[in-house]
Amino acid sequence: MSHEPPNDCPPARGDSTRAVHGAGAAQNPYGSVTTPIIQSATFTFASTADLIAYLKRKAAGGAVDYEEYARFGSPTVDAVEKKLAALEGGDDALLYPSGMAALTSVLLTILRPETHVIITDDCYRHTLEFCLNFLRKYQIETTVVPFNDMAALEAAVIPKKTRLVISESPTNPYLRVADLDALVRTAKKHRLLTLIDSTFATPINQRPLAFGIDFVVHSATKYLAGHNDLLAGVVIGRKDRIAALRDSRLLLGGIVDPQPAYLLERGMKTVALRVAQHNASAQRIAEHLEGHPAVERVWYPGLPSHPDHAIAEAQMRGFGGVVTFELRGSLDATAGFIDRLTIPHLAASLGGVESLIQQPAIMSHFDKSPEERAALGIKDNLVRFSVGIEDADDLIADLDAALEPLRAARSIPS
């Protein structure tokens, strides 16, 4: 199967070129190198005739320089959406105030009462919660199937009801990598739409649209923005599908303000450089931790020990900046390790220039009992490390110092 971008996408250019310029140089009346922040809720017209001409162009599907009201869109947001589409290799993109807003807007737009969704079991906790609990109120059923199990996916299809398959690649926190070729083949066999949350991969490491995926969602808060300073989400796909979402965004009101849109574009200009550093450092750290006596297991797609290493090698250009690992210790011992670290911040989220670390049993699943956490695969000794762009040698030295008491407590030779 060819995994090239669609024929009507911009000419093939390098990742950094597209991250900086998108489909071409941005045009604005000020001649500024950066996209202007057009901080306006409404936009004026020179005359009634000018307004009527604009409305006629818009009704005919023609291009317009700007909308009449910022809930319909703004020049700043527009410019960022075009750049995101070019970077992912899609026809069009739509920005939202968060990754969850992007994902839920797709579902609320394309699903109807009495339809059915299939979702893989290693998806983000709140994505699963939305599908299993929120959508149920609208008579939309959800079936959870094992990750990368195409037989289970086919068995879950309900003829004339199943509409969509949702997965992530890589997943959180175990970094499972979806077999996109197999997923698309199976979905197309049953005429199902497909959605991939590709936040952990970024368009630099993986482009699901080139495999035939219908919708790609990113929490742009993470790697695309890259500086832990804004919330945003994006959906990228075929022009007609994004047009339907644009109509629903007008009604649902999930519009992004120009200021975070500007910050997102500024962050995107260095995304290829940052992701290269994330990839290289995370690979080194994963290999180092896998050989450490105080570490029980490392989950990283770049390691041959990862269950989806072969898939990742075949369809990814890099393995990402998150390393998940299990320590040889208890809940408290794992918390002590995190507290001894001096470089990573103890914080939620990922994908920024600063390294962030967390213990999912506490950070994201504190409300669950040990039994409930175990059923979800969240172990007490599990650590998720979002590797920043600091020097890898410094991060490894910091990890070793924090792991030393665990090694010594078990009388393991260094």
Q: Is 123 in contact with 130 (CB distance < 8 Å)? A: no
Domain-located, residue 223: yes
Question: Can you give the C-alpha Rg of the chain in angstroms?
Answer: 22
The answer to whether residues 221 and 315 belong to one domain is no
**Boundary of a domain, candidates 268, 283, 308:** 268
Distance CA 132, CA 386 (A): 28
- Of 234, 252, 268, the residue that ends a domain is 268
Q: What is the pLDDT of residue 412?
A: 62
pTM value? 0.91
Name the least confident of 183-187, 195-199, 274-278, 362-366: 362-366
Tokens for 397, please give them. Answer: 């030295």
Q: Which of 54, 96, 124, 223 is catalytic?
A: 124
Task: Return the pLDDT at 7.
Answer: 37
Indicate whether 237 and 291 sit together in one domain. no
CATH number for position 220: 3.40.640.10
What's the pLDDT score for residue 93?
97
Question: 220 with 264: CB under 8 angstroms?
Answer: yes
Query: Which of 92, 122, 197, 308 does the annotation list as catalytic?
Result: 197
Split at pLDDT 50, 70, 90, the class of 5 is very low
Residue from 378, 392, 300 nearest 334 by CA = 378
Q: How confident is the model at residue 367 (pLDDT cuts 50, 70, 90)?
A: confident
Query: The domain spanning residue 319 has which CATH number?
Result: 3.90.1150.10
pLDDT higher than 70, residue 346: yes
Identify the domain containing residue 307 by its residue range. 271-409
Residue 214 is a catalytic residue: no
Write down the catalytic residue from 13, 58, 66, 71: 71
* Cβ neighbour number for residue 238 with a 10 Å cutoff: 15
**Angstrom distances, CA of residue 393 to CA of 282, 310, 384, 414:** 11, 28, 19, 18
Averaged pLDDT, 368-385: 84
In a domain, 46, yes or no: no
- Same-domain pairing of 260 and 285: no
204 and 320 assigned to the same domain: no
* pLDDT tier for residue 238 given thresholds of 50, 70 and 90: very high
Q: Is 174 a catalytic residue?
A: no
Instruction: For residue 360, give the H/E element and its range.
Output: helix 360-363
Catalytic: 124? yes
Rounded CA separation 220/226 (Å): 8
Whether 96 is a known active-site residue: answer no
Asked if residue 243 and residue 107 are part of one domain, the reply reads yes
Please give the share of the chain, as a percent, with pLDDT higher than 90.
Answer: 80
Residues 307 and 194 in one domain: no
